[in-house]
Amino acid sequence: MYTANYTDSQLFDLGAFEASLQTTTQHLGIFRSVLEKGHATLRKRFQTNMNATEYVHQRAWLVDQLLQHAFNKMFVTPYREHIALVAVGGYGRGELHPCSDVDIMLLLDVQPDAEIQAIIGQFITFLWDIRLEIGHSVRTVAECHTEACNDITIATNLLEARLLVGSNDLFQQLQICSEVWTTKDFFASKVAEQQRRHNKFYDTAYNLEPNIKEGPGGLRDIHMVGWVAKRHFGAQRDLGSTSLHDLVSHGFLTEEEYHSLTEAQEFLWRIRCFLHLLTGRREDRILFDYQRSLANAFGYQDTKTQLGVELFMKQYYRTMMELRSLNDMLLQLFDEAIIYANAPAVKKSLNKRFQVHNDYIEVRHDKVFMNYPFALLEIFLLMEQHPEINGVRASTIRLIRQYRHLIDDAFHRDLRSRSLFFEIMRQPQGITHALRCMSRYGVLAAYIPAFGKVVGQMQYDLFHVYTVDQHSIFVVRNLRRFMIPKHHDEFPLCSKIMLSLPKPELLYLAGLFHDIGKGRGGDHSKIGESEALNFCQAHGLSDFDGRLVAWLVRNHLVMSTTAQRQDISDPEVIKKFAQQVADTTRLDYLYLLTVADIRATSPNLWNGWKDSLLASLYRKTQQMLSTGLTGIDNRRAHIEEIQAAARQLLADPANVHVDVLWKDLSDDYFLRATPETIAKETETILNHADLDEPLVWERQQTQGITEIMQYLRDRPYIFGETTAFLEQQGLTIVDACIAPTEGQHTISEYMVLSADGSELKDPVHIQAILDGLKQTLTHKGSIKFVPVNRRIPRQIKHFPVPTCIIFTQDYANDHTVMEVVTTDRPGLLSRIGQTFISCEIRLKTAKIATFGARVEDIFYITDLNNHALFSADQLDCIREQLSNLLDADEPIQPMMMNV
């Protein structure tokens, strides 16, 4: 706790300082030197063994000494009766981190005249000149009163005000200004303010680059508790008179909870001090840029199964979770003491163990959990069954925390416990809320020990935005959303399937377990499968149900991988996937789990393109499973069925030119298009007068994506030319198919999104892209490649992926499969296209897949004669040139290429 009576001659030697001031009139240099020396001393102490609490208080004390002397130097005696120097904000609390602003207010009795204004200006300039980062305001008492009435933030700052030097009478008048808000209004406004702040961070502390100060469970939540306590208890404002420990004497915290709170604060303060010292500025975000350095500073080392940075962040997230729980409990206690202080208690009995007290559920006596341990689960079931309940009463939260250790082996063997858990998962409403509360109060981790291992477990990449435990609960939330009528318009297919499931609780269980094996080394899907099966068997599920849950956990990535990395227009791909799924029941469950999983991985990961891909794979697989795995086994027969359907839609089905064109087009074209699209594009091509002029149009077949089609005279390097142009327009290419015809033309398809992953919707913009591409493709002779050298996002730089290029031969289809794994960056595909031109390679099809910073693209390529690549020289050319282009540290320079 800060005290103004602290003395430290090594940090600030008063005698030596005053003696130095007597020897010269150049005081600025003396102040600056003392400040720099003090900061250096504090830094050395902190890096040795001083805790963060001592650091922030000692820095505040050091700044106090300099400000008081500077004030007395500038403001001579006649002025001091009319002005006071006041510390506000964190500095008012006596807390200054290494680079925190020094917030001060010059408090006046009346508006300053020109002479006082000049002195104030000199004072502020002097503080900046000695390199003190200040935030200052100049106000009269009357202005403070007006501002405090209008702005809760200013009223809060005044609540923390601390007199440094000057008129004590003015400062006493200032204290009244902080009380212009009634306790009820102050509390209600601060609660609303906290909720708005939490909402900025999606109401979760588990973002991978969290804000240690403003995020949920951060330092601001501790400040919130202190502000309300000060305002409610009306304590004196001299520093330290109302500390967090006062909450113990007032019955709001136990000693154990107080120690948890202060330990968490020390941990966060220590991180914040390291952040400031590391960056040299006021940085409150634990960015990827600093996480490894912080982990090293805190002594976390890599293990066989986890990175040191993951272990450090796990400790951080668990600390956030503890603070969030304490914050919830304290605010509810304040709510009862402030909002409902004089209101009559309205109680409603639920059973012999629980009742509702003013809309909050509570135990009927404090021995409930001790006498009936299964009630630790029952309380959450009752919350689901009574949606009018606002939450758990604070005193009961404390008892849950006290007795959750009773969730042991005997608890798991109790049939009542097992039944209650599955009743929680079977309820028609409130499942997500129940799971979140169970997680927040530590019950879920205690009941499912495997889940406890992933609480706070981050994955050090850009693909997974949330910790494993939060992500898993988000998956369940997304699954539940499919069941809610008001959300059916968001995912109509998912909602329709969800309502047809015989046992949706099995799907929720799979969502809870699908990533539960992470952080242990090995294949997390296999580990999770074993954990899920053991859990289901221990809870008496039928063999069929248990194995369904386990199968979903084991295969939860299969559908997304198939859709994004394979050509789902190929019946053989569908057949292989259908064989793996085996029946339509599994397909229904897997499809829903896949959609919910992707949407819960990152707010920006899901888009209309993925929606279309997965829905298409689902429908094709459902059709194959419904008709039997041999129903669409004959590729040629399937193509003939598509052509027959398309022919019926033509204006002139008997047109002989149709047969000529269709014979010319490749099988891939017919497999990737609907009969309606084929009919429309057939007529477009046949009506195109000049076949030497490129034909470019938008195919409107797939929702959520812009499909750009080309039909032009064949030449080897269409992919390189096209990708260079499209990426220069800031577009992201997610799929491509280049299909040479039997004659002299090529028909190509490129599926693109905007740079942020959203669909292009402006028709004018799309037409401009089509016109520009047509102009690019109309050229003759050499073209100029202008590489895309847009700035690589900051986060990606911290997750470099070594470039790996693998070739395999597909003898049946006479092409070579090239897999490229590398770091994502702007202009990646145009660099690959540039390599294809240099090495005389044709591209048939490309499957583009990006997972955070990691790219895993697959290219089906041939030589210029449309045959697989068997030449070692040609393969070496690709590998060498592509590696040089992808691993180049410097921007790629423009170049001319003959095409």
Residue 3, number of CB atoms within 10 A of its CB: 12
Q: What is the pLDDT of residue 781?
A: 58
558 neighbors 598 (Cβ within 8 angstroms): no
Q: What is the pLDDT of residue 784?
A: 57
Distance CA 198, CA 795 (A): 23
pTM over 0.85: no
Q: What is the pLDDT of residue 656?
A: 87
The type of residue at 641 is E
Distance CA 672, CA 679 (A): 13
SS3 9: coil
Distance CA 317, CA 460 (A): 14
Q: What are phi and psi of 897, to 5 degrees?
A: -135, 140
Q: What is the pLDDT of residue 345?
A: 85
Q: What is the pLDDT of residue 743?
A: 78
3-state secondary structure 144-164: HHHHHHHCHHHHHHHHCCEEE
Q: What is the pLDDT of residue 202?
A: 64
Q: What is the pLDDT of residue 786?
A: 60
Task: Supply the DSSP symbol for 792.
Answer: P
| Angle, CA 747 vertex, CA 742 and CA 752 arms, to 5° | 155
220 neighbors 198 (Cβ within 8 angstroms): no
Name every residue whose Cβ is closer than 8 Å to that of residue 747 and which is 6 or more positions away in sequence.
Answer: 665, 666, 669, 709, 710, 711, 739, 741
Q: What share of the chain is helix, strand, coil (3-state, %, to 5)?
A: 55, 15, 35
Q: What is the pLDDT of residue 431?
A: 96
Tokens in use for 838?
Answer: 């240099």
Identify which of 662, 649, 894, 896 has the alpha carbon closest to the alpha carbon of residue 786. 894
Q: What is the pLDDT of residue 780?
A: 62
54 neighbors 2 (Cβ within 8 angstroms): no
Residue 183, number of CB atoms within 10 A of its CB: 18
499-514: b or e for each residue (b if 16 or more CB lie within 10 Å)?
A: eebebbbbbbbbbbbb
Beta bridge partners of 102: 134
Q: Element (H or E) spanning 291, and its range? A: helix 288-297
Distance CA 38, CA 680 (A): 78
Q: Element (H or E) spanning 754, and its range? A: strand 745-754
Q: What is the pLDDT of residue 442?
A: 93
Average pLDDT per consecutive 10 residues, the chain (899 residues; last block may be shorter)? 71 90 86 94 91 94 94 79 91 93 93 89 94 93 91 88 92 84 88 87 68 90 88 55 74 89 94 94 91 93 90 92 89 85 87 94 96 97 96 93 95 95 95 95 95 87 81 95 92 95 96 94 93 94 95 96 87 92 95 95 81 92 81 70 91 88 86 89 86 86 84 82 86 82 85 84 92 85 60 71 89 89 82 85 81 82 88 88 75 46
Helices (H), 816-859: 828-838
Q: How far is CA 61 from CA 55, 64, 157, in A?
A: 10, 5, 19
Q: Element (H or E) spanning 733, and its range? A: strand 731-740
Task: Supply the DSSP symbol for 794.
Answer: G
Distance CA 597, CA 574 (A): 21
Q: What is the largest CA-CA distance in the chain?
A: 108
